[in-house]
Structure 1
Amino acid sequence: MPPTKRTRIAAALPVARQAAAFLREQGEPGMAEAVETTIEWATRAEQSAALQASIDAGLDPNYPLHVEKAFRTHVHAAAKAAAEAAGRDPRKEVPRVVAEGMEAFRDGKWTPPAPVRAPRGSAPEKVSLNVRIPKELFDQVDALAKDPEQAAERGYALNARQVAIAALAKAFPVKKATAVK
């Protein structure tokens, strides 16, 4: 397997430091400064990538849910308020709600309503609402949601992402605006 860009940069750093020292010795402080700045940037980038990799190693996988922008904004605001009222970490509220909804679906305690699709060409802008949940739970729910017998019994097909979105809609209902006369 060929070396990655990160490994090539890491291997080149000692030589780059020697080059900066050589340039200073040769009376080229401007060029030495440019090389040292590049070394500092590459070192910070490598440290940041290593930190992110160690953080990601201990996290559940990320699942993007494609939702309307207004719904995502509403969910984030409602989740923050609910978490703060309950004394929980607001950053973990959306994944908690999704996991609880998925567990209820998996255990047969809740069935999400049929997904509603906008008429062709009239769908509002969609954005990603990212949630981290255990892969095993996601896979179990996805298999159950797509099961042909279960779909026939429900009368509609689902997938795990639709179950997650329905769990958020149930936990954080959007109040419909009424027209003022």
Structure 2
Amino acid sequence: MPKIVDADERLATIHEAVFRLVERGGVPAASLRNVANEAGLNVGSVRHYVGSHTELLRGAVGRLQERVTARLLRHADGLRADVAATRRGEIAIDMLEELVPLDAERRQEAALWQAFLEHARVHDDIGGLATEMAGGIREFTGRLLAAAGVSATAVPAEALACVLDGLAVATLHDPAAYDRRRVRAILRWQLTRTLT
């Protein structure tokens, strides 16, 4: 009797292999053959689930976005209007902090994010993803500020997104200088000025 394979599980295995390879050696390391070896599969099986190398990369970026979004959504219920304003402010900081590489999972995500962004800048095989990735951060900061009562969110959302971008890069490259307390202080300072 043939073994029944769960397609979602197999894709998750493939995408996790992509993540490990990209984290260690950048996007060029994530060839179909390398991904197959890393995932313990044959190349034909990888192709069956992802199609082309471009679709492999697009799928991995999508899974990365899903991971981050799921973490952000765990906090979202705390932004309801019936939650005390001071508590909503701390929840907003918690959500912003989710995008800063303060632990192993978020460090991996930030390294992947940077690698995919750089790849998209110079290669058109995943064209449009860099804009989509950056746009997602701006959409998130805009929604966060709108939930806090900011009416004209475009410029403040962009400023907050730029702070997140800078913190992510700084924390990824010099984690000793950016512990959780310092990151939260920076985020709180920026959010307070944005809301006043």
Higher strand share goes to which structure?
Answer: 1
Q: Same fold (TM over 0.5)?
A: no
TM-score (norm 1): 0.29
Higher helix share goes to which structure?
Answer: 2
TM-score (norm 2): 0.28
Determine which structure has more spread, i.e. the larger CA radius of gyration. Answer: 1
